[in-house]
């Protein structure tokens, strides 16, 4: 299988879906002429033209709302947020309009829109550009939330997201854009709501998603070699819908759990997972559920310290050892 | 003195005004007698529906907010009477008039207010959230100005899909100060999207008069976005039609967006929870009722034209009252949704399980 970057995987998914369905349009700030702020959409304008690949003004409430309105008529817009952090200025459109319009209309309307872009810390851009809003988004029934960790997952999940008839919020990661992974040349789809066991192990289950999957795999290798701890890494891939069954199966096998997430701890995705695991697998647990999250403060600028604020392999190893102690 | 009272002083009362030239505008001149009567009938039906819903509210049959359209009927009726197959409407929370104007049946509208399963949104939306996509009516939105980007999206969809049509994005005078509205103006003008932004200027954003909330003439802000704009008297349905026809045609034919400010007035408070005794005088409301009432104005016009007579007027009114009563009876007799209905209509996929492609849990407890 060819090795391609996460960035290319997202781009290929966009190109294939643009090719397949004339209702798909790609819109966002700098997606066309500039070739994408992170070059995800590079070359799409040349291939599909300005009617399908559309540069928007810096106007998130306006253009995201416009995409939602167009999706009610059956257009399938894929809107890029240069950073998911900018969702706050389009909050009303995303979480009042896209999330609620189906419900408030008694099921008469659906919004087949995808909003995608990076949502991560770790790039020393300070608190305003480092938000990870998957918990905030997933708190709203009516929408779906996807956080892929690898090139393979990003492509297969984005293609499913674009074909989905509900609003899907797709959270990528600027640090992962350059990471290469094996991606088949033939077409494939990954269903939303299906977790993936990225590494099997017998002593501890790490439940995680996004870039923390990569960190957890790195930590797991060291834990195996240096500490003789065998770790299973469950990558959720999708936050909502949630594949809790794969999580519970792993918990039932290993009896010890560590949740790792690039989230502020209060009311995070991990909070919900911990509740569900204790509720549905209480008797399987040999100890309390452990969690490693971002250290609870706005994102720190100072580069070496921000690395320590976020989950990283070294913090995960420490947390894993505590969880199996 | 409010801006509105100034406006009254400048204008002749409708009752003594000369026959307005708008009756001769081509869009009005070509109306058949029956079509003219239908415009009148729709306004009367809206008013009787609103009065009946107010009684139901006072009788504690309706929860939440109730924003009545009484006094503004000529705006929704005039605008929506111009709709073609690919024209679309979206509005804010004072949406009952638009719903009836686009042709929705008052029975499910009233049932929605009562929170019944037979409501147009199955009791899930309430007064502020009426929808009927089959009639190109896209709501019914609760957040001031939040629907305007969606309206631009409707226009984008019409253009992208190659149809000849236009979206009418309605808002109140208070909405013009919301950022989302300005972002929508810019996008519409930048991309030449076929939308007419309709400001229903009733003079008050809740209890704050236009003079206390907005700098400059509202529609004129369109100039900053290189859009044409117009203003018209919303108490005269002919004038509304004549003015809107011009801008809708511009949108449909040339994708040129525009803003139209329609002067109107609401007789009731912002919502029924508004005691309406802090920001305007009873005399001001009375003045409007006496001299500018859109139903009265048009009724007199049609009598002058020989289209309506007293007997027909009475018959239309009785039928409208009966229709509103029947709607209330229907609502009263309908069942409520059950707790089992709460999680329906959340996800398209959950409502179409045979076509579901995702896996995993969609709902949590």
- The domains of chain A are located at 3-182, 196-324
B120–A106 CB contact, under 8 Å? yes
Domain parsing of chain B, residue ranges: 3-10+23-355
Q: Which residues contact B301 (CB under 8 A, 6 or more apart)?
A: B19, B20, B23, B236, B238
pLDDT in tens, A271-312: 999 999 999 999 999 999 999 999 999 999 999 999 999 999
pLDDT of residue B73: 98
Where does the pLDDT of residue B4 fall: very low under 50, low under 70, confident under 90, or very high at 90 and above? very low
Mean pLDDT, rounded, for B286-309:
97
Q: Which residues contact B207 (CB under 8 A, 6 or more apart)?
A: B270, B274, B278, B279
The listed CATH number (3.40.50.720, 3.40.50.920, 3.40.30.10, 3.20.20.210) that belongs to domain A196-324: 3.40.50.920
pLDDT of residue B69: 97
Q: Which two tokens stand for residue B260?
A: 């139209």
Among A129, A131, A215, A255, the one annotated catalytic: A129
pLDDT in tens, B137-183: 999 999 999 999 999 999 999 999 999 999 999 999 999 999 999 99
A65–B148 CB contact, under 8 Å? yes
The listed CATH number (3.40.50.970, 3.40.50.2300, 3.90.550.10, 3.40.190.80) that belongs to domain A3-182: 3.40.50.970
ipTM of the complex as predicted: 0.96
Residue showing tokens 């999940």 = A157
pLDDT of residue B20: 55
pLDDT in tens, B7-20: 333 334 444 555 45
Mean pLDDT, rounded, for B28-48:
98
pLDDT in tens, B221-233: 999 999 999 999 9
Helix residue ranges per DSSP H, chain A: 6-20, 44-48, 60-72, 91, 99-104, 134-138, 151-163, 211-227, 244-254, 269-281, 303-309, 313-324
Mean pLDDT, rounded, for A209-222:
98
Mean pLDDT, rounded, for B290-299:
97
Which B residues in the span 194-223 are in contact with A, Cβ-Cβ below 8 Å? none
Determine what percent of chain B is predicted with pLDDT higher than 90: 93
- The reply to whether A3-182 and A196-324 are identical in fold is yes
Mean pLDDT, rounded, for A193-211:
98
Q: How far is A248 from chain B (nearest CA, A)?
A: 12
pLDDT in tens, B114-144: 999 999 999 999 999 999 999 999 999 999 9
Q: Residue B267: is its pLDDT beyond 90?
A: yes
Q: How far is B258 from chain A (nearest CA, A)?
A: 17
Q: What is the mean pLDDT of chain B?
A: 94
Where does the pLDDT of residue A230 fall: very low under 50, low under 70, confident under 90, or very high at 90 and above? very high
Mean pLDDT, rounded, for B92-106:
98
pLDDT of residue B275: 87
**CATH 3.40.50.740 correct for B3-10+23-355:** no
- Say if B345 is an interface residue toward chain A (CB within 8 Å): yes
Q: How far is B243 from chain A (nearest CA, A)?
A: 26
pLDDT of residue B21: 85
| Residues of A whose CB is below 8 A from B120 | 106
Q: What is the mean pLDDT of chain A?
A: 98
Distance (Å, whole) CA B217 – CA B3: 11
**How many other CB atoms are there within 10 angstroms of residue B341's CB atom?**
14
Nearest CA to B158 out of B62, B257, B229 is that of B257
Distance (Å, whole) CA A161 – CA A152: 14
Where does the pLDDT of residue B38 fall: very low under 50, low under 70, confident under 90, or very high at 90 and above? very high
pLDDT of residue B18: 53
Which residues pair with residue B263 across a beta bridge?
A: B201, B233
Q: What is the largest CA-CA distance in chain B?
A: 69
- Say if B192 is an interface residue toward chain A (CB within 8 Å): no
Q: Verify whether residue A314 is a known catalytic residue.
A: no
A182, A188 Cβ separation under 8 angstroms: no
């Amino acid at each position: 299988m060819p090795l391609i970057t996460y960035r290319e995987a997202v781009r290929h998914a966009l190109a294939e879906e643009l090719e397949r369905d004339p209702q798909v349009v790609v819109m966002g700030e700098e997606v066309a002429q500039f070739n994408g702020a992170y070059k995800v959409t590079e070359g799409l304008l040349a291939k599909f033209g300005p009617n399908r690949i559309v540069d928007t003004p810096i106007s998130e409430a306006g253009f995201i709302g416009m995409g939602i309105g167009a999706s009610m008529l059956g257009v399938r817009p894929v809107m890029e947020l240069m950073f998911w952090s900018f969702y706050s200025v389009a909050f009303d459109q995303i979480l009042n309009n896209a999330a609620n319009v189906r419900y408030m209309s008694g099921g008469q309307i659906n919004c087949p829109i995808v909003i995608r872009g990076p949502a991560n810390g770790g790039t020393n851009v300070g608190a305003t550009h480092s938000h990870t809003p998957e918990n905030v988004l997933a708190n709203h029934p009516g929408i779906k939330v996807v956080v892929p960790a690898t090139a393979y997952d990003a492509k297969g999940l984005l293609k499913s997201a674009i074909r989905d008839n509900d609003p899907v919020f797709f959270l990528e990661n600027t640090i992962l854009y350059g990471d290469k992974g094996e991606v088949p040349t033939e077409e494939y789809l990954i269903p939303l709501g299906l977790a993936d066991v990225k590494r099997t192990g017998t002593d501890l289950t790490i439940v995680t998603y996004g870039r923390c999957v990569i960190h957890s795999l790195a930590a797991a290798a060291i834990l195996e070699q240096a500490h003789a701890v065998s770790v299973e890494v469950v990558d959720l891939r999708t936050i909502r819908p949630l594949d809790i069954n794969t999580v519970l199966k792993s918990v039932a096998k290993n009896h010890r759990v560590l949740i790792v997430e690039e989230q502020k701890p209060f009311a995070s995705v991990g909070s919900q997972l911990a509740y569900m695991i204790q509720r549905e697998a209480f008797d399987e647990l040999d100890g309390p559920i452990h969690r490693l999250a971002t250290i609870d403060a706005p994102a720190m600028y100072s580069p070496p310290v921000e690395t320590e604020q976020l989950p990283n392999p070294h913090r995960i190893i420490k947390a894993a050892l505590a969880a199996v102690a | 003195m409010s801006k509105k009272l100034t406006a009254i002083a400048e204008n002749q009362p409708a009752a003594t005004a000369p026959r307005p030239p708008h009756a001769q505008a081509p869009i009005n001149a070509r109306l058949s007698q029956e079509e003219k009567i239908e415009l009148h009938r729709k306004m009367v039906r809206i008013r009787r529906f609103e009065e009946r819903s107010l009684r139901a509210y006072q009788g504690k049959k309706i929860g939440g907010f109730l924003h009545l359209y009484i006094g503004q009927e000529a705006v929704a009726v005039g605008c929506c009477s111009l709709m073609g197959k690919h024209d679309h409407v979206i509005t804010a929370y004072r949406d009952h008039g638009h719903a009836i104007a686009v042709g929705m049946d008052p029975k499910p509208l009233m049932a929605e207010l009562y929170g019944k399963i037979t409501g147009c949104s199955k009791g899930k939306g309430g007064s502020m959230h009426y929808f009927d996509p089959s009639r190109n009516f896209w709501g019914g939105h609760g957040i001031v100005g939040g629907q305007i980007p969606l309206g631009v999206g409707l226009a984008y969809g019409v253009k992208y899909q190659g149809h000849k049509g236009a979206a009418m994005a309605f808002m109140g005078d208070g909405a013009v100060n919301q950022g989302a509205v300005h972002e929508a103006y810019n996008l519409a003008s930048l991309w030449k999207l076929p939308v007419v932004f309709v400001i229903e200027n009733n003079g008050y954003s809740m209890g704050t008069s236009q003079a206390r909330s907005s700098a400059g003439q509202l529609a004129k802000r369109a100039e900053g976005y290189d859009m044409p704009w117009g203003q018209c008297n919303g108490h005269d349905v002919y004038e509304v039609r004549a003015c809107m026809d011009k801008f809708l045609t511009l949108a449909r034919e040339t994708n040129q967006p525009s803003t139209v400010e329609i002067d109107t007035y609401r007789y009731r408070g912002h919502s029924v929870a508004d005691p309406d005794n802090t920001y305007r005088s009873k005399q001001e409301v009375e003045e409007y009722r006496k001299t500018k009432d859109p139903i009265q104005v048009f009724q007199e016009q049609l009598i002058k034209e020989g289209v309506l007579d007293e007997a027909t007027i009475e018959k239309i009114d009785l039928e409208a009252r009966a229709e509103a009563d029947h709607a209330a009876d229907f609502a009263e007799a309908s069942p409520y949704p059950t707790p089992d209905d709460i999680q329906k209509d959340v996800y398209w996929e959950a409502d179409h399980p045979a076509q579901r492609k995702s896996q995993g849990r969609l709902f949590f407890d």
